[in-house]
A and B are shown apart, each in its own frame.
Chain A
Amino acid sequence: MLSKIEIQNLSKKFVLADNKTNIQVLENFSFSLKNNEILGIIGPSGCGKTTLLYIIAGFIPYETGRVSYDGEPITAPSAKRTVMFQEYGLFPWMSVEGNIEFGLKAKGIPADERREITRHFIELVHLKGFEDKHPYQLSGGMKQRVGIARALASNPEVVLMDEPFASLDSLTREIMQEEILKIWGETNKALLFITHNIEEAIFLSDRVLIMSARPGKLKEIVPIDLEKPRLSEIKRGNSQFLKLKDYISQSLREETLKGIDQMGIKLTKVLGSIKMEKEGKNGKNN
C-alpha cells in the first residue's frame, strides 16, 4: 500500500460553550497522503485546516469517518508524525540543542548518538554557533529553523506543518521554502502542510488540496507536475507555474467569496438583531 495517511468521510463538529450551538467544521472529508509525498492544503480562513491537521496529529478526537495511519486508526499523537506549529511551539526553557534533542531523549536514544544526530540537524538548518541560545534570543526565521530541526530530528515518517512560514518576511520565507525542498529531497519523508499562500503551496507541493469554505469540504486536488529540484525563479518566469497559480487562485476565490458571504449573512443577522434590540429599547423609553 502506498498511502501513509488515509482519511475517509471524516466529519467534525465543535460544540460551543453554551452546549447548544454546533459548528460543523469538517464535512465528509476524504483524501490520502502517499509515501514521500508533499501535500499542501489551502483554503479560506476558518475552513477547518488546523482542525484537520490536529486530527491527523492525534491531538483532537473526531466523531465520524475514518482516519488511519499505515492502516491503523489514529487515536493519539505519535512520534511517527511530528508537528511544526504555527508559532513554532518551541520550549522556551530549553536551548536550541535541548529543543532539537527532546524527541531523541523521549525515544531513549543513547547520549553519543543523540549528540551526533542533534549536531547533524543543527548544521542542516544552519544554526551552528547557536546551540546554547534560548528561543527568546532568536529571530523568527531562526526559531522556524529550530522548529524544522526539532520536527525532523526524531526521524518521523511524516511531518505536519501548520502555516510554517506565516510569520516570516517574504525573503526569509522564500529561502526557507527552498531549504525545505532541499531537506525533503535528502530525507525521504512525507510532508503535509497548511498555507494561505498560493505560490508557496505550488512551489513546495506534489499536490495541492483546495478546501471549501466552512464547513470544510474537499473542493479539489490539483497535481503539481513541475520538475524537481525547483528554484524560486519559477515563481516569476515559469509559464506552467503561472498557469497553476491562476487556476488555484480562481478556485480559491470562489470559496473565499462564499466564506465572506457566510460571514456577511451572519453580520447582517447580528446587526439586524442589534438594531431590533435598540428599537425595542427606544420603544420602551417612549
Chain B
Amino acid sequence: MIKKSLKGLSVIFAVLIIWQLGSYFKLVNPFIMPPPLEIIKSFFSMLLKGPLLADIYSSIRRVFVGFTCAFLIAVPLGIVLGWNKSLSQYFLPAIEFIRPIPPIAWIPLAILWFGVSDLSSYFITTIASFFPIFVNSFVGAESVEKVHINAALSLGASRGRVITKVLFPSALPFVLTGMRIGLGVAWMSVIAAELIAAQSGLGYMIQLHRMLLETHKVIAGMISIGIIGLAMNLFMLYLERKLVPWVKK
C-alpha cells in the first residue's frame, strides 16, 4: 500500500521538480505556466486570507442542495420503477430521452428560467446527479433476488415490508454507487454552471482570475476543485464500505 503510493507520488514530484526548474531557467513563460511554488503560495494565501473558503463553501452548498433534491426524487422513483415493470413502461422512454442531454447543456435554459442566481446552480446540480442515482436505483431494484422476496413472503411479510426490508436493502449497494457517481457529476457540473451563471463559487473564481490574467490563481482554484472532488469520492467509497459490508468488492 505504502509502496504503491510512493510510486505514484514519485512521478508527481518528478514532474513538479522539472516544471519548477523549467520556470527557474526561464524555459516556460510564467504567464502561461506559473511555477509550482508560486501556485502553492497563492493557494495558501487565498486559503488563509483570501475568499477561497467562501467560494468553496458556495460550490459545495450548491452541490449539496442539488444532490439532496436529486436523491430524494431519484431513489424512490428508481426503486418503484425497477420493482413495477408495467409502471416503468410509462416512464422509462421519457427518462431515456432526457438522460443523454449533458447537464451543462441545461445551463442556458437554467439562466432563462432562474437567472444568474443560486437557483440556476441548484437546478443544474439536481439534473446532473439525478440520472446516475436513478439508473442505479432502478437496476438495484430490478436485480433483487427472487428467493429473498419469496422468503420474506413466506415469513408473513406484507407488501410494504417487502419493499422497505428486502427491496431497498437489495438495491442499496447500487444506490450508493449511483450516489458516488452522481456526486462526481454534480461537482463537475456546478463548476461549469458557475463559469457562466454565478457570482461566487470556485467556477466563478477561476473565471474571474482568468479575466484578471492571474494564471497562478486560476490553477490554484483548479487544484482546489480537484482536491474536493477527490475527497468527495473517497468519502462515498468509505460510506459504501461502512453501509454495505456484505457486498464483496
Contact = CB atoms under 8 A, between A and B. Distances in A.
A78 B157 CA distance: 9
Given A102-B165, A106-B161, A135 B246 contact: yes
Contacts of B147: 85, 87, 89
Given A89-B147, A91-B166, A93-B244, A82 B154 contact: yes
A150 B155 contact: yes
A57 interface: yes
Interface in A99-150: 102-103, 105-107, 134-136, 150
Contact of B245 (A76, A79, A134): A134
B102 to A, nearest CB: 35
A83 B157 contact: no
How many interface residues does chain A have, given as a range?
20 to 34
Interface in B138-168: 145, 147-148, 150-158, 161, 165-166
B248 interface: yes
Contact of B158 (A57, A82, A83, A106): A106
Contacts of A135: 246
B172 interface: yes
Interface string B168-205: 01101000000000000000000000000000000000
Interface in B193-249: 244-246, 248
A107 B152 CA distance: 12
B154 A91 contact: no
A134 B156 CA distance: 22
A83 B147 CA distance: 10
Contacts of A134: 245-246
Interface residues of B, number: 22
Interface centre among B147, B155, B165 (most CB of A within 10 A): B155
A136 B158 CA distance: 26
Contacts of A154: 155-156
A26 B248 CA distance: 39
B244 A91 contact: no
B156 A89 contact: no
Contacts of B245: 134
A194 B157 CA distance: 24
A247 interface: no
A9 to B, nearest CB: 25
Interface string B87-131: 000000000000000000000000000000000000000000000
Contact of A136 (B148, B169, B246): B246
A59 interface: yes
B153 A77 contact: yes
Nearest to A98: B165
A92 interface: yes
Interface string B35-77: 0000000000000000000000000000000000000000000
A94 B246 CA distance: 9
A38 to B, nearest CB: 19
Nearest to A81: B154
21 contacts: A57-B150, A59-B150, A77-B154, A78-B156, A85-B151, A89-B145, A89-B147, A89-B150, A89-B151, A90-B151, A91-B151, A93-B244, A103-B156, A106-B152, A106-B156, A106-B158, A134-B245, A134-B246, A136-B248, A150-B151, A150-B155
Interface of B: 145, 147-148, 150-158, 161, 165-166, 169-170, 172, 244-246, 248
Given A58-B154, A79-B154, A107-B156, 19 more contacts: A58-B153, A59-B153, A77-B150, A77-B154, A78-B154, A78-B156, A82-B155, A83-B150, A85-B147, A91-B166, A93-B246, A102-B152, A106-B155, A106-B156, A106-B158, A134-B246, A135-B246, A136-B246, A150-B155
